[in-house]
Amino acid sequence: MGEKMGLSKRYEFVLLFDVENGNPNGDPDAGNMPRLDAETGCGLVTDVSIKRKVRNYVELAKQGEPSYDIYVKEAAVLNNLNKEAFANYPDIELKEKKPDKMEAKHKKDQLMLSRWMCDKYYDIRAFGAVMTTGVNCGQVRGPVQFSFAKSIDPISPQEITITRMAVTNERDAEKERTMGRKSIVPYGLYRMEGFVSAPLANQTNFGEEDLELLWSALLNMFDHDRSAARGKMATQKLIIFEHSTVLGNAPAHKLFNLVKVTRKSGVDIARSFDDYEMLIGEAPQGVTIIERL
């Protein structure tokens, strides 16, 4: 696998996406009801949920292409994947446990293994990974991180009763139909904030092509994530803050504060993205604002 060039600029971004009559992220601790902040009533979507959709999109878009495999995916046995790195370096001894003290040679060996894993798997060089669970390939800090997404307004989760014109077991045949429940949010506009660190990207070889693929995934991931629970979800806007330097030119939180999203005057209950207005302040020197969609 060829050596990739890292990034020469820092990035932050704001992602706005919405859901209509669906469940963007069910909470297993609450009967799979939509996640929410109990104090404010605003809806939540975890960073893990969005990373899953990014991984799925990359797997579809780059299927079969070298260096774009996905490490964390359905039915993957991670230690077996770790062993592939050792197979590529037969001179490195495979150890099942992490040593208490690591000699300089072992540190060098582990770095080689980690770099091999970064080159092979997109999600490792993007999000990082802990690869010390049994078969030790090291630990990687990823340059790309997401916050929890939070709805602009409080959401109103609802449980909808549904019927099925069939039964599961023969003993229930006389019932003719069965009942079930479905949790939905009538409408919610969510905001997620994210970060791309150039110094960490240079450590994992996360390059310009990888970055462009990340933007593409954030814009298109919902179009390949349809289900009965998430039938109508869409990215509405991606606002990217591009710094002119590796370390950045302004604090991330001040850049995020430039993006204001509020309900339009006269709208009591929002039911579409058109019910909101977005204002973006002036970027500080050394930062360029890029809008997608």
pLDDT tens digits, one per residue of 205-261: 999 999 999 999 999 999 999 988 887 999 999 999 999 999 999 999 999 999 999
Give 72's pLDDT tier (boundaries 50, 70, 90). very high
pLDDT tens digits for 155-176?
999 988 888 777 777 777 777 6
pLDDT computed for residue 92 by the predictor: 86
Q: Are 194 and 15 in contact (CB under 8 A)?
A: yes
Where in 47-177 does DSSP place strands (E)? 128-131, 138-141, 144-146, 149-154, 158-164
Average pLDDT, the chain: 91
When pLDDT is averaged across residues 75-82 and rounded to a whole number, the result is: 90
pLDDT at 138 over 60: yes
Cα gap 280→150, rounded to integer Å: 19
Does the pTM of the predicted model rise above 0.95? no
pLDDT at 194 over 50: yes
From 283, 281, 264, select the one nearest 273 (Cα to Cα). 264
Cα gap 45→147, rounded to integer Å: 9
pLDDT computed for residue 229 by the predictor: 84
Share of the chain above pLDDT 70, in %: 94
Cα gap 120→69, rounded to integer Å: 6
Cα gap 122→5, rounded to integer Å: 14
pLDDT at 96 over 80: no
Can you count the helices (H) and strands (E) in the chain?
Answer: 7, 14
Pick the most confident of 89-98, 172-181, 250-259.
250-259
Q: CA separation (Å) from 288 to 176, 194, 205, 284? A: 61, 16, 24, 8
